[in-house]
Amino acid sequence: MSLPSSESSSPKEAARHDRVLVVLATPVSGCFDYLVPPHLSVVIGSVVVAPFGNRRLPGIVLGPGTGDVAVEKLRYLEEVAAVATLPDTLLLFMKRFANWTVSPLGAVAKMILSQPSALAPPAMQKQFFMPQIAPPEKRLTAARQRVYAVMADHVRRCAGDISAAANVSQAVITGMVAQGLLDVEHVVADQPPPTPRHDLPGLVLTATQTTAARDLSAMIGQGFSTTLLDGVTGSGKTEVYFEAVKAALQAGQQILILLPEIALSAGWRNRFAARFGVVPVEWHSDVSAAQKRRAWRFALDGKLSVVVGARSALFLPFKNLGLIIVDEEHEHAFKQEEQVIYQARDMAVLRARIEACPIILASATPSLESWVNAGATGGPARYRHVVLSDRVHGASLPQIKAIDLRKTPPERGRWLAPPLVEAIAKRLQHGEQSLLFLNRRGYAPLTLCGACGAKVTCPHCDSWMVAHRLAGRMRCHHCGHETRPQRNCGQCGESDSMQACGPGVERLAEEVLWRFPEARFAVLSSDTVGTPKAAQNFIESVQAGDVDIIVGTQMAAKGHHFPNLTLVGVVDADLGLAGGDLRAGERTFQMLSQVAGRAGRESRTGEALLQTLDPENPVLTSLLSGDRDQFLATEAAARAHAGMPPFAQLAAVILSAPEDTKLHEAMRLLAASRPVFDNVDCFGPAMAPLAYLKGRHRARFLLRAEKTIDLQHILRGWLANVKLPAQVRLHIDIDPYSFL
C-alpha cells in the first residue's frame, strides 16, 4: 500500500477495501465496482484510472464496492493519479449537481476531471544557477560572459530563459554545465501563480460604496450567505466586490469569480491587476492546457488564491473556497445548453452552500429569480440585498426616448429613422461617438427569390441561412452550415433573383456609409472581432477616438467604457420580444438597459433612442420611465399569475432523433407513461419550435410543478422505466431558458 490516506477520519478509511465504487468520467449512468490491486491504495476522493470496455478512463473513488457483481467479473484499477485526494465538499457538489440536473453522475465527474493533463505526474524541469565559486570572467568566451552577466543575480533560471536573456544557444549552457561553470538542479516544472496582494490601496470609495463593501466583507468566514449586489451601471460594483475579495484573501481563503466569457475583457483584467498587483489566473475556453493544468492542481493544493473564469470554473477542485462572485448574474451565458444542461449561477449558489461560504451575485439588471429571492416582491428574503443606486462620478443615467416608427419611418430599404439620423449627425458635428445597436450578425437574416418567393434555408435545421457579405458566405446560425451565396434561384431557376430581406449589422454599416460618407465607422460583432485580442484592439481604437460610429451586436452592449460615446441608437427594440418565450421581456429589458448604459458615462449626459413599432409595450414604457423595479414587479406579477418560474418549477424533456419515425415512437412511449400527480402538469409532446435542428427531429414535453414538489424525483421515476429506441437522444432541461 503505497498511498496512505491523507486523512485518518473514519469515512475516508471506509474505502480501504479491496473492492471500491468508482464513478467514471464519462456520461453513463451509474457507478462501477473495481478491485484495487495490492500495490495501490485508495481512499474516498482518490482520482484513479480504470479500464472500461477497451478504454482507460479517469474516475473518482466514492466508497466501498457495492458487491452487486461477482468478484470474478470485476476488473482492477490501473493507476492512482498523482494528485491530492478530492475534497468531500466537491464530491457532495458532484452528487447534488447530478441530482438537480437529472444528469448521469459520470457526466458531472467528467466536468470535474475535464483536464486530462492535470492528472499526469508533474513534469520536471532543469533549473540553472551560478556555482559557489565562479572562475575569472576573462577566460570565458563572449557568449559565456553574457550568460554570467545574466546569472550574476543568483536567480535560478530554465534554459529557455537564459538563452533568451543572454542571446546564446542552449548548447552554450549545456557546455558550461559540463565544465562546472553552471550548476543545475531538477525541479517540478509547475510553479504556483503569484499570490494576489491584499495590502495594496484601492480607489477611494464613495460613502455608499464603503457601506456596501463593509457589508460584503463582513460575510467572509461567516458561513453560507447569498447577497444580491444590485447597482446601476457605473455605480462601481466591481470596486465594491473587490473589497470582499480582499477580505477573503486576508483570511487566506480561495476565491472564485465567475464572469460571462464576453465580460472578461482586458479592462477587467487591468483593474484586477491594479487592485491586487498580479494578473488573475483564468479558466475558460481560451486558456491553454498547460495553464489549466496549473490552475486545476493548485486549486486542489490550496496554492491558487483567485480564479476568474467562465461557468466551467465552477467544477475546479478548490481546497478552501471562501468566496464566490457571479458578476453579471442575469446573463444567459451562465446557462449551459449543451450536454449537461445547467444554470451556472444557480449551481454556484449550491456550491457556496456546500462549501459554507458567501456568494455575491452582482448585476445592474438582476434576474427576476434573484430579485424575487432578495425579497423585493415582499416574499421571504432568501438572499441579502445590497443596493448601489448612484453612479460614482455623479454622472446621470442616459435619457431614454422612443422613436415611433409608425410616425417617423425610415425610407424604404433603410433602417435608420429621421430622428435617429439627426441625432447621429449632431454627434458627428460635436466630435462625439454614437453606437448603433442591432443584435443580428451578418448582412441580412433572410434571402428569398423575387420571382417565386422561395427562401434560402438550412438543410439541417428549420431555419433561414443568414447572408454574410463581408465573408462572402451564407451561414446557418444554429448549426454552422455554410454555403456560397447563389445568384440564381434553386427552386424556379430564375437568374439574379435572390434578394436580401431585413438588416443585419453589415447592412446597417452600408447605410451608415451611405448617409455619412465622411464618418469613420466600425462593426463590432463576433464575425468581425472574433478573438479577445481583436476585441481589445477594437476597444482601444474606439477609446483613442479613431471611430465615430460603432455598429454592433450584443458584443457592444457589455461593460466597455467609452467616455466619448454619448448616443446609443437601438435599431430594432422589438426584436427580442418576438417569439414569446418565458424570459423574452426580461431579456429584452436587460439587454436594452445595458446597451443604453453605454451612453454618457462621464460628465456628459447620454441619450438612448429606441426605434420601435410598439412604444406602449410594458418593457419599453419601463425603460423610458427608467423604472426598473416597476418592470420587475409587473413581470413578477405576470409570472406568479401564470404559475411560471420563479413561482413554480418548469422542466423540459427534449427528444431528438435523425429519423422522424423513431422520434414518434419515443414520443408515444414517453406519453404512455407520463407522470400523473397532483400539482404537476405534463404538457406535450409537441414538436419543438425548431422541429428540425442540426440534422435531428425534435419534440418536447414540458413539466410544470408547484415549488414544493420534488420534480427531479418525478422525472427520474418517469424516465427510468422507458426504454427508448436506439438513436433517440433525451435531454432534460431543468428551468429551461431556450424554447427553440
* Residues at the site binding ligand ADP, with contacts judged by CB under 6 A: 203-206, 209, 231, 233-239, 392, 561
Choose the one of Zn ion, ligand ADP, none that binds residue 209, judging by a C-beta under 5 to 8 angstroms depending on kind.
ligand ADP
Q: How far apart are CA 293 and CA 296, in angstroms?
A: 5
> Shortest Cβ distance from residue 598 to Zn ion (Å)?
32
Determine the distance from the C-alpha atom of residue 364 to the mean position of all C-alpha atoms in its chain, rounded to a whole number. Answer: 18
Contact residue for Zn ion among 82, 120, 134, 452 (CB under 5 A) = 452
> Shortest Cβ distance from residue 358 to ligand ADP (Å)?
19
C-beta closer to ligand ADP: residue 101 or 206: 206
C-beta closer to ligand ADP: residue 62 or 212: 212
Choose the one of Zn ion, ligand ADP, none that binds residue 561, judging by a C-beta under 5 to 8 angstroms depending on kind.
ligand ADP
Q: How far apart are CA 498 and CA 487, in angstroms?
A: 6
| Binding residues among 480-519 for Zn ion as defined by CB under 5 A | 481, 489, 491-492, 494
C-beta closer to ligand ADP: residue 401 or 561: 561
> Shortest Cβ distance from residue 362 to ligand ADP (Å)?
7
C-beta closer to ligand ADP: residue 226 or 238: 238
Q: How far apart are CA 559 and CA 271, in angstroms?
A: 13
> Shortest Cβ distance from residue 660 to Zn ion (Å)?
17
Choose the one of ligand ADP, Zn ion, none that binds residue 454, judging by a C-beta under 5 to 8 angstroms depending on kind.
Zn ion
Choose the one of Zn ion, ligand ADP, none that binds residue 206, judging by a C-beta under 5 to 8 angstroms depending on kind.
ligand ADP
Choose the one of ligand ADP, Zn ion, none that binds residue 492, judging by a C-beta under 5 to 8 angstroms depending on kind.
Zn ion
C-beta closer to Zn ion: residue 119 or 489: 489
Choose the one of ligand ADP, Zn ion, none that binds residue 177, judging by a C-beta under 5 to 8 angstroms depending on kind.
none
Residues 660, 711: contact at Cβ < 8 Å? no
Q: How far apart are CA 740 and CA 733, in angstroms?
A: 12
> Shortest Cβ distance from residue 690 to Zn ion (Å)?
9
Choose the one of ligand ADP, Zn ion, none that binds residue 481, judging by a C-beta under 5 to 8 angstroms depending on kind.
Zn ion
Q: Which three cell numbers stand for residue 616?
A: 406602449
Residue 510: phi, psi to the nearest 5? -60, -40
Q: Which three cell numbers stand for residue 371?
A: 430579485
Q: How far apart are CA 348 and CA 224, in angstroms?
A: 12
Residue partners of 400: CB distance under 8 A and separation at least 6: 596, 607, 608, 610, 623, 624, 626
What letter does residue 440 receive in the DSSP assignment?
-
> Shortest Cβ distance from residue 204 to ligand ADP (Å)?
6
Residue partners of 179: CB distance under 8 A and separation at least 6: none
Choose the one of ligand ADP, Zn ion, none that binds residue 233, judging by a C-beta under 5 to 8 angstroms depending on kind.
ligand ADP
Segments in 474-521 forming alpha helices (H): 505-515
Q: How far apart are CA 651 and CA 715, in angstroms?
A: 9
Under the binding rule (CB under 5 A), the answer on residue 159 touching Zn ion is: no
> Shortest Cβ distance from residue 695 to Zn ion (Å)?
8
> Shortest Cβ distance from residue 361 to ligand ADP (Å)?
13
Contact residue for Zn ion among 165, 251, 395, 479 (CB under 5 A) = 479
Q: Give the pairing type, strands 473-475 and 466-468.
A: antiparallel
Which helix (H) or strand (E) element contains residue 60?
strand 55-64
What letter does residue 341 receive in the DSSP assignment?
-
> Shortest Cβ distance from residue 601 to ligand ADP (Å)?
7
Nearest alpha-carbon partner for 418 in 429, 426, 431, 408: 408
First to last CA, the chain: 54
Q: What SS3 class is residue 669? A: helix
559: Cα within 13 Å, side-chain hemisphere: 22
Residue partners of 719: CB distance under 8 A and separation at least 6: 102, 653, 670, 730, 732
Under the binding rule (CB under 5 A), the answer on residue 249 touching Zn ion is: no
Residue partners of 540: CB distance under 8 A and separation at least 6: none
Contact residue for Zn ion among 414, 460, 469, 561 (CB under 5 A) = 460
Contact residue for Zn ion among 12, 478, 507, 704 (CB under 5 A) = 478
Choose the one of ligand ADP, Zn ion, none that binds residue 123, judging by a C-beta under 5 to 8 angstroms depending on kind.
none
Number of residues that bind Zn ion (CB under 5 A): 15
Contact residue for Zn ion among 428, 458, 667, 715 (CB under 5 A) = 458
C-beta closer to ligand ADP: residue 268 or 739: 268
What letter does residue 218 receive in the DSSP assignment?
T
C-beta closer to ligand ADP: residue 5 or 367: 367
Under the binding rule (CB under 5 A), the answer on residue 449 touching Zn ion is: yes
Q: How far apart are CA 570 and CA 423, in angstroms?
A: 12
- Give the DSSP per-residue string, 183-217: EEEEEES--PPPPPPS-S--PPPPHHHHHHHHHHH
> Shortest Cβ distance from residue 247 to ligand ADP (Å)?
17
What is the contact surface with Zn ion in residues (CB under 5 A)?
Answer: 449, 451-452, 454, 458, 460-461, 476, 478-479, 481, 489, 491-492, 494
